[in-house]
Structure 1
Amino acid sequence: MSIAYHESTKTFHLTNGQISYIMKVLPNGALGQLYFGKAIRDRESFDHLLEMKHRPMSSWVFEGNKLFSLEHTRQEYPSYGSTDYRHPAVQILQPNGSQITDFVVQSHSVTPGKPALEGLPATYCESGSEAETLTVRLRDELLGVSLDLNYTLFADRPALARSARLVNEGDLDLHLTHAMSLCLDLPDRDYEFVHFSGAWSRERWMKVRRLEQGNISYVKWDMNRSISEPFSEALPPDRQGELFHRYILGVYRLYERLTASFPHVLFESCSSGGGRFDPGMLYYAPQCWASDDSDAVERLKIQYGTSYCYPISSIGAHVSAVPNHQVKRITPLATRANVAHFGTFGYELDLNKLTAEEREQVRQQIAFMKEYREVLQFGDFYRLRSPFDGNFTSWMAVSGDKKTALVGWYRTLSETNGSCRRVKLQGLDPELCYQVDGGGTHYGDELMNLGLVTTDSGAGECQPGERPICDFDSHIFVLKA
């Protein structure tokens, strides 16, 4: 059993041969979490576990240092108001209405055994040799509040007991609105939440669900919502909660002035991770940039999901350069266009860097969009096959008179000797006969009930004269009655 502190790196390592718990003092003085798991060998520095990257649309703690943001840093006991927009472990309401805190590590001590928690049930030891307790003291100097974080390491059990104690050592009347016994900031993974719910005679029924990232407490517009230390001198303490609401009302007022002054200008807002793709913004800006991730394969999921709530005409979608800026993937120019066609459509690349053949493709893609814009952006849109369910994605748009339809078909990875495939269409007139480009004529009821044949050279082995397939392949089928 060992509780080690390395002064040179300000790192704590608690280990008993079964588990290791490692944390360190962060550049801003807060306490950061590095590792919790099976026991590992001690060393002077575990700084390689503090992975700091420049992540777009984040706030930084220090001016000019784009690597250190608390939002993307695992912390032992995160507080409210400084570059971290997640739920805090502690929140303190102050007389002026502010809830901002800044707890900085001051000192630490190690004692044998486990101190009792006065007035509370808790784990305990019968002798000092059964456990050791590390107490790390942090302090908010402005408020005069001390925070003791206690970590008890048991000698022969793979367990760590934790508790937190806050002490108001200053003169301010403070209201503790939120305080957790502990916070475990987990690394990005796929987790399952196991919940034992029930009632009388139906006790502890196990329910399991996946934990997924939400997008509720992190909403902003072009960095304008990255407001740290939110506080307004213009508002009294009991109205400080109005600050963010008033800010958004200001954004709306600005949009109102711009759209009134320039009624012929098309304004496009920016979704910034999806958090602000909302009807409020669409009232002023009828289209919204769906995501900074413009990779065609990623956009299948992004645009498919967005289409559940918003019309295709509002989804900003472009053909971008390859390798893609975000994921470095190289996708065919045709597929990039075939995805972007089911959106506002545009280009964000240097045309001078395209080959003569690619420039000709661009001319054809633009002509295609001009010919079918009304169907693509203002027709009825149907989701046929979800990109979240497998290797294939399909969707389609049908004109108001049902005489023209465009079916987008996409395959993420190529296959050899694959299955013969069809996709069942929707929204057609069952009585109309449709000419399918390269696929003969078929009545609407056949296409909806039997399906459109999408089999290509991926079924079997590609033969001379057949169109070769590739990864990230796609095709738009044009149907005309």
Structure 2
Amino acid sequence: MPEKERAFDMAIRYNEEKQVFSLHTKNTTYQMCVGKYGFLLHLYYGKRTEGSMDYLLTYADRGFSGNPYDAGTDRTFSMDALLQEFPTQGNGDFRTACLVVKNSDGTYSCDLRYKEHRIVQGKYAIPALPAVYADENEAETLEIVMADVVTGIEATLCYGVLEELDVITRSVKIVNGGKNDVSLEKVQSACLDFMDGGYDFIHFHGRHGMERVMQRTKSMHGLQSIGSRRGTSSHQHNPFMMVAAEAATEETGDCYGLSLMYSGSFKGEVELDQYNQTRVTIGIQDEMFSYPLAPQEAFYAPEVILSYSEAGFGRLSRNYHNVIRYHVCRGKYKDQQRPVLINNWEATYFDFNDEKIYSIAEQASELGVEMLVLDDGWFGKRDNDYSGLGDWFVNEKKMGGELKGLVEKINALGMKFGIWIEPEMVSEDSELYRKHPDWAFVIPGRRPVRGRSQLVLDFSRKEVVDGIFGQICEVLDGVNVEYIKIDMNRSITDVYSATAGDKNQGAVLYRYVLGVYDFLERLAARYPDMLIEGCSGGGGRFDAGMLYYSPQIWCSDNTDAIERLYIQHGTSFGYPVSSVGSHVSAVPNHQTGRSTSMKTRGVVAMAGSFGYELDLNKISEEEKQMVREQIKEYHKYWNMIHNGNYYRLTDPAVHGEIAAWEFAAADAGEALLNVVTIDTHCNASVQYVKLKGLAPEKVYRIEGEEGIYSGDALMNAGIPVPYMSDEYQAWQVHFIEA
């Protein structure tokens, strides 16, 4: 039932007289109201504002825009022109919808009206899905129940308000309260309606080996959409997007972010309508989605993390960095420093045995590396990528005996041990596939599409998840494994679940993602001290949903330091440095053939969870000494890198000459400036970099050098970058308060 106006200090307030909901964070306000006839109308999202803004609603007789029957002869009230919180298909709104329901009689209609609401302390959770979490005193929840009185469909709109973080989360629960089966044909988790146009649409496209490249386009009349049909969030588009004022920059202007906590197929849409109003939605991809809902059954949509900044993209990014670091990531390594690791993949690929792995570990331990990760090829019959996936038992012939012996030797060096797995995949040449061919996605009567010579296991089925989980646990329980890299190396095709039945095939991909989350949740519960790193051919499943289960994700299979400048720049808009897996690899680089210095590779890799991807036995003595120094520096700067404020100082795609970024301590007491030269010229002009996040009244010095600099000078005038006579050189300097 409606409540009286909440106390002034509450983040969520309800004005009973006007039926206006106000959601306040430290710097923002989100407002909506129950309008005429029970429709839930959006009013405002932006800079913090007090008072009711229901006066912003305007009404006019719009040609060819229909009116609800309740309005009688009033032709000025139309859902085709009003801003809404959760638009549905079939109520007279012809713009893109959040909810499309196919009813038992074959019709497409859903007319949701306000029923009731609840305001509670704390943050809601979502069964079987990841969600932002918070202590009771850190968040409040608003639940608004909307109902279709004809079909009995109810939608509970969930809003979580994290006041100090300037974050509002959204999700929806759909319940079939009627007597007949229905089918959900589209469910978007959140909608932002704006009463004006002129926004830019910013999203992050890419491909395998070049993920999350920022693209900024002007919104246009019609529908612009991004998304994935690949069964994962994908390399091609990321489920984080922004809309911003045309003049918005890193430091100025209105900008809004939407981050979908979901690791499967998704869709994001921006529509500029006939009246120059803008609608933005994001949620599950509706292609290949048709979710049957029997009477009294419920469907839960994944969560969207919303944030707004009036001070440009930089502040918006830092809002996301904070909420993901402290309210999405979980477990021991959420706050704890992660070990510097070496992975054998680019050093050996499949060609290794226990002696070769131990040799890599022995040299690495002498240089200060803290963990050895054994990548693909340790299990089953796995000497190439044509066989062995699904057979999660140690290849003792290849490993020269039990894995336990190698792990004990590596532990004796003072190093931790980690291992690579790909639980969602199966090779046709495997014991598992020969025993359970129906466990793989294969459409009866058709030959499947292969990817990396492998098929996808049907993780929508509990028995499949149980079988793989049991195999992997049998290995992990027998050896001292302290890190797991979980990979997923193909897109999903041939979606058919042998146990789903004809009416449920459209729900398989959603249930597949739930199966993956179930696997990860059980793994984290069984091994609470394990560091888990996500991976999907690098950054093919880099999303906030996956970060709920793994505090870091391998950013890209492309380890070239210069290419990584662009990849890590785009990633930083929606994700913190602490979530980025980044390594120093061999030169010439295995993906691009480019050679860069060990120093440059180290500076670039330090903008992430640091490690190495090469055989350290094969580098020079001078480079080995640099490795020792890099590891010491990484430990020294770790807290500032992972918990400090991150600033993009240049856009490498635009600036051209240099890439520059900075880490600054939260108290502005120190900063780490990083610069890499991309291009060099004869008689070149001097490059100046303006720092951010310092205290203008403080004085700073560069560690190890003479001279002092005022904070306001460093931020307003900048500092000259020293001339470096070759391309791809790095300059890293530590500013400390004098």
TM bucket, shorter chain: 0.5 to 0.7
Match of 2:735 in 1: 479
- The partner residue of 1:341 within 606, 629, 642 is 606
Match of 2:697 in 1: 431
| 2:530 corresponds to 1:274 | no
Secondary structure, counterpart of 1:240 in structure 2: helix
- Does the CA-based 8 Å contact 2:679-2:727 persist in structure 1? yes
* 1:306-348 residue CA offsets vs partner (Å, 9 max, x unmatched): 0100110000000000111111111111000000111111111
Cα distance in 2 for partners of 1:230, 1:218 equals: 11
Match of 2:686 in 1: 420
- Does the CA-based 8 Å contact 2:489-2:537 persist in structure 1? no
Secondary structure, counterpart of 1:288 in structure 2: strand
Q: CA deviation at 1:415?
A: 2.3
- Which amino acid in the other structure matches residue 449 of structure 1? N
Match of 2:564 in 1: 299
Match of 2:260 in 1: none
Secondary structure, counterpart of 1:330 in structure 2: coil
Cα distance in 2 for partners of 1:285, 1:300 equals: 23
- Does the CA-based 8 Å contact 1:219-1:275 persist in structure 2? no
* 1:260-304 residue CA offsets vs partner (Å, 9 max, x unmatched): 111111100014353311111100100000000000000001001
Match of 2:640 in 1: 375
Match of 2:616 in 1: 351
Larger Rg: 1
- Does the CA-based 8 Å contact 2:650-2:658 persist in structure 1? yes
| 2:665 corresponds to 1:399 | yes
Question: Structure 1 residues 292 and 225 mapped into 2: Cα distance closer, same or farther (>3 Å)?
Answer: closer
- Does the CA-based 8 Å contact 1:271-1:290 persist in structure 2? no
- Does the CA-based 8 Å contact 1:319-1:347 persist in structure 2? yes
Cα distance in 1 for partners of 2:231, 2:609 equals: 23
- The partner residue of 1:469 within 725, 733, 738 is 725
Residues 37-76 of structure 1 mapped to structure 2, 5 A cutoff: none
- Does the CA-based 8 Å contact 1:428-1:448 persist in structure 2? yes
RMSD: 2.6
Cα distance in 2 for partners of 1:302, 1:330 equals: 18
- Does the CA-based 8 Å contact 1:255-1:284 persist in structure 2? yes
Match of 2:243 in 1: none
- Does the CA-based 8 Å contact 2:539-2:557 persist in structure 1? no
- Does the CA-based 8 Å contact 1:313-1:343 persist in structure 2? yes
- Which amino acid in the other structure matches residue 378 of structure 1? N
Cα distance in 2 for partners of 1:305, 1:283 equals: 20
Q: TM-score, normalised by structure 1?
A: 0.52
| 2:571 corresponds to 1:315 | no
Residues 52-451 of structure 1 mapped to structure 2, 5 A cutoff: 216-220=228-232, 222-223=487-488, 226-272=491-537, 274-389=539-654, 390-437=656-703, 438=705, 440-451=707-718
Question: Structure 1 residues 445 and 251 mapped into 2: Cα distance closer, same or farther (>3 Å)?
Answer: same
- Does the CA-based 8 Å contact 1:218-1:275 persist in structure 2? no
- Which amino acid in the other structure matches residue 450 of structure 1? A
Match of 1:171 in 2: none
Cα distance in 2 for partners of 1:242, 1:286 equals: 28
Cα distance in 2 for partners of 1:357, 1:312 equals: 29
- Which amino acid in the other structure matches residue 667 of structure 2? D
- Does the CA-based 8 Å contact 2:231-2:509 persist in structure 1? no
Secondary structure, counterpart of 1:375 in structure 2: helix
Secondary structure, counterpart of 1:381 in structure 2: strand
- Which amino acid in the other structure matches residue 687 of structure 2? R
Question: Structure 1 residues 469 and 431 mapped into 2: Cα distance closer, same or farther (>3 Å)?
Answer: same
Cα distance in 2 for partners of 1:367, 1:219 equals: 41
Match of 1:112 in 2: none
Cα distance in 2 for partners of 1:252, 1:261 equals: 14
Q: TM-score, normalised by structure 2?
A: 0.34
* 1:170-215 residue CA offsets vs partner (Å, 9 max, x unmatched): xxxxxxxxxxxxxxxxxxxxxxxxx9x98xxxxxxxx9xxx99x66
Structure 1 window deviating more from structure 2 (290-299 vs 387-396): it is 387-396
Question: Structure 1 residues 271 and 436 mapped into 2: Cα distance closer, same or farther (>3 Å)?
Answer: farther
Q: CA deviation at 1:440?
A: 2.2
Q: CA deviation at 1:391?
A: 2.4
* 1:216-252 residue CA offsets vs partner (Å, 9 max, x unmatched): 2235483465333111122232321111111111110
Secondary structure, counterpart of 1:317 in structure 2: strand
Secondary structure, counterpart of 2:491 in structure 1: coil
Cα distance in 2 for partners of 1:434, 1:274 equals: 37
Secondary structure, counterpart of 2:708 in structure 1: strand
Cα distance in 2 for partners of 1:368, 1:395 equals: 17
- Which amino acid in the other structure matches residue 720 of structure 2? V
Cα distance in 1 for partners of 2:490, 2:660 equals: 35
Cα distance in 2 for partners of 1:299, 1:215 equals: 23
- Does the CA-based 8 Å contact 1:396-1:406 persist in structure 2? yes
- Does the CA-based 8 Å contact 2:600-2:728 persist in structure 1? yes
Question: Structure 1 residues 219 and 405 mapped into 2: Cα distance closer, same or farther (>3 Å)?
Answer: farther
Match of 1:13 in 2: none
Cα distance in 2 for partners of 1:231, 1:294 equals: 35
Q: CA deviation at 1:471?
A: 1.5
Q: CA deviation at 1:400?
A: 1.7
Cα distance in 1 for partners of 2:488, 2:534 equals: 12
Structure 1 window deviating more from structure 2 (238-247 vs 319-328): it is 238-247
Secondary structure, counterpart of 1:409 in structure 2: strand
Cα distance in 1 for partners of 2:568, 2:589 equals: 17
- Which amino acid in the other structure matches residue 691 of structure 2? L
Cα distance in 2 for partners of 1:226, 1:245 equals: 15
- Which amino acid in the other structure matches residue 475 of structure 1? W
Secondary structure, counterpart of 2:566 in structure 1: helix
Cα distance in 1 for partners of 2:542, 2:494 equals: 25
Question: Structure 1 residues 271 and 307 mapped into 2: Cα distance closer, same or farther (>3 Å)?
Answer: farther
Cα distance in 2 for partners of 1:257, 1:303 equals: 30
Q: CA deviation at 1:399?
A: 0.8
Question: Structure 1 residues 215 and 387 mapped into 2: Cα distance closer, same or farther (>3 Å)?
Answer: farther
Question: Structure 1 residues 296 and 439 mapped into 2: Cα distance closer, same or farther (>3 Å)?
Answer: farther
Mark the runs of 5 or more structure 2 residues left unpaired by the alignment. Answer: 1-217, 233-423, 425-486
Q: CA deviation at 1:411?
A: 0.8
- Does the CA-based 8 Å contact 1:322-1:331 persist in structure 2? yes
Question: Structure 1 residues 303 and 215 mapped into 2: Cα distance closer, same or farther (>3 Å)?
Answer: farther
- Does the CA-based 8 Å contact 2:671-2:736 persist in structure 1? yes
- Which amino acid in the other structure matches residue 679 of structure 2? L
Cα distance in 1 for partners of 2:653, 2:623 equals: 30
Match of 1:83 in 2: none
Secondary structure, counterpart of 2:545 in structure 1: helix
